[in-house]
Chain A
Amino acid sequence: MDKNSETRHHRWVDESLAILNPGDEWHPDVSDGLLRLKQSQVRGTWFSKRWVFAATGAVVVCLCLMVLHSPKVLVHRCLECSVAVWQSLLPSAPAQANLKPPSGRTLAPDFNLKYANGRDVKLTDLKGKAVLGNFWATWCEGCQVEIPWFVEFQKEYQARGLVVIGISMDDDGWKSVRPWLKEKNVNYPIVIGNERLGKQYGLDGMPLTALVDREGRIADVHPGLVDKAATQQKIRALLQESFKDSAN
């Protein structure tokens, strides 16, 4: 292609494209455009705020789940499962009945408390029975995990001489415990404890579980959440041992 035709073609293309000019008299309205841009920005900001709303909503739902009753049960079940999984993951130490030897045991601090029906209960009245005393509270999450285990123990070993007593440490006593008892299926007696009794058993934090032999002596005190299998072993050993003592 020679230089002339190249220039001619170039000019033709330029002229062709020049007719696309939208017109010199037309001036896009900047104010109107800016207004529309700002409106779109506000909408765009709202879109990004949607994530904040979604996150807030999720938090509210979580709070509701924690406050409402039935989800609370679900939380307890989850907690229980987590504890079981955690315990199964721990180095598998065989469950042993690490009870104090009978010769080293001291007499358990006696108590005189009342059942829900108003009847008195004294530890000394339970002589001849192995007693599992569990210090707990309605607000204590760990307690809610182990209480079903104590229900099982009561059911399984009651005939062999075990008595489980739940000693509630709720500040407002029966006011909190009665509604709680209505909701739960607890097959052992519950009493309301006091600070002095807690101190006597070395209660620093909830829960605390004490095992008392048939002679009324402390065989074991376990602060915190118990190991279900280990506690079961202790109960069996205590019941067996007590039978020996009783026989002697």
Chain B
Amino acid sequence: MYTVNTSSEAVADSSANETHLDIEALFRAHYGRVARIIARVVGDRARSEDLAVEVFLKLWRNHKAQSENVEGWLYRVAVRAGLDELRRQTRRGHYERMLAWVQTRLPAATPEDIHSVSQKQARVRSVLSVLEPRQAQFLVLRSQEFTYQEVASILNMNPASIGTLVSRAEESFRKEYIKRYGQE
């Protein structure tokens, strides 16, 4: 069970001026989950591991982040990193398709491909990439089985309003999906 706690054991020693962070302990405790959250969004395991390491590197460089809700900061930045990467991939895919059309070498999709799970995953990711960042963050964190309380803590929001906001995000997701791919 994930807990958002500023007095984590990983924060070994804190003083008025400086917080000494045991980055290794924090890494061992959260790396797996951080990488899985990113992988959920990005879909590429190797790339997710790279991005997860970058998230911890950001934490190590960011002294301000070390003095606040460290775990919350980690997951917030992880989701954001995943969504940023997803948008990059979407843009890249768009240009590649354009290039393929020019080259008339577009690989033909098989019926199996069309109906495969990966096709559905691509659609879900495509919709996530165009949603408002905050709504996409709600959905990714919820899908990773964070409680409303934890989502609120990660995103620095009032826990009382999370339920409503998540519902709105789900509705936006559904509408965007239907707009793009029709009712299933």
Residues on A close to B: CB < 8 A?
6, 9-10, 12-14, 16-22, 26-30, 32-34, 36-37, 40-41, 44
- Which listed residue (B60, B120, B174) contacts A12, Cβ 8 A? B174
Minimum-distance CB pairs A-B, first 10: A17-B143, A28-B35, A22-B39, A13-B170, A20-B40, A36-B53, A40-B57, A28-B32, A16-B124, A37-B53
Q: Is B177 part of the contact surface with A, judged by Cβ < 8 Å?
A: yes
A18 to B140, CA, bound (A): 10
A34 cross-chain contacts in B, Cβ below 8 A: 24, 27-28, 31
**In B66-122, which residues have CB < 8 Å from any A CB?**
117, 120-121
- Which listed residue (A19, A28, A41) contacts B57, Cβ 8 A? A41
- Which listed residue (A14, A20, A33, A44) contacts B53, Cβ 8 A? A33
Residues on B close to A: CB < 8 A?
23-24, 27-28, 31-32, 35-36, 39-41, 43, 45, 48-50, 52-53, 56-57, 60-61, 117, 120-121, 124-125, 139-140, 142-143, 167, 170-171, 173-174, 177
B57 cross-chain contacts in A, Cβ below 8 A: 37, 40-41, 44
Report whether B32 and A20 are in contact in the complex, using a CB–CB cutoff of 8 Å: no
Min CB distance, B88 to chain A, in Å?
17
Report whether B125 and A20 are in contact in the complex, using a CB–CB cutoff of 8 Å: yes
A30 to B36, CA, bound (A): 12
B140 cross-chain contacts in A, Cβ below 8 A: 17
Report whether A13 and B36 are in contact in the complex, using a CB–CB cutoff of 8 Å: no
A165 to B23, CA, bound (A): 73
- Which listed residue (A16, A20, A33) contacts B27, Cβ 8 A? A33
Report whether A30 and B143 are in contact in the complex, using a CB–CB cutoff of 8 Å: no
- Beyond known contacts A9-B171, A10-B170: 4 more, CB 8 A cutoff: A26-B45, A28-B49, A37-B57, A44-B60
Chain B's interface: helix, strand, loop or mixed, by majority? helix
A26 cross-chain contacts in B, Cβ below 8 A: 36, 39, 45
A28 cross-chain contacts in B, Cβ below 8 A: 31-32, 35-36, 45, 48-49, 52
B142 cross-chain contacts in A, Cβ below 8 A: 17
B174 cross-chain contacts in A, Cβ below 8 A: 9, 12-13
Give 26 A-B contacts (CB < 8 Å), ordered by A residue: A9-B171, A9-B174, A13-B173, A17-B140, A17-B142, A17-B143, A19-B121, A20-B121, A20-B124, A20-B125, A22-B36, A22-B39, A22-B40, A22-B43, A28-B35, A28-B36, A28-B49, A30-B31, A32-B49, A33-B35, A33-B56, A36-B53, A37-B23, A37-B56, A37-B60, A44-B61
Known: A20-B121, A28-B36. A9 touches B170 (CB 8 A): yes
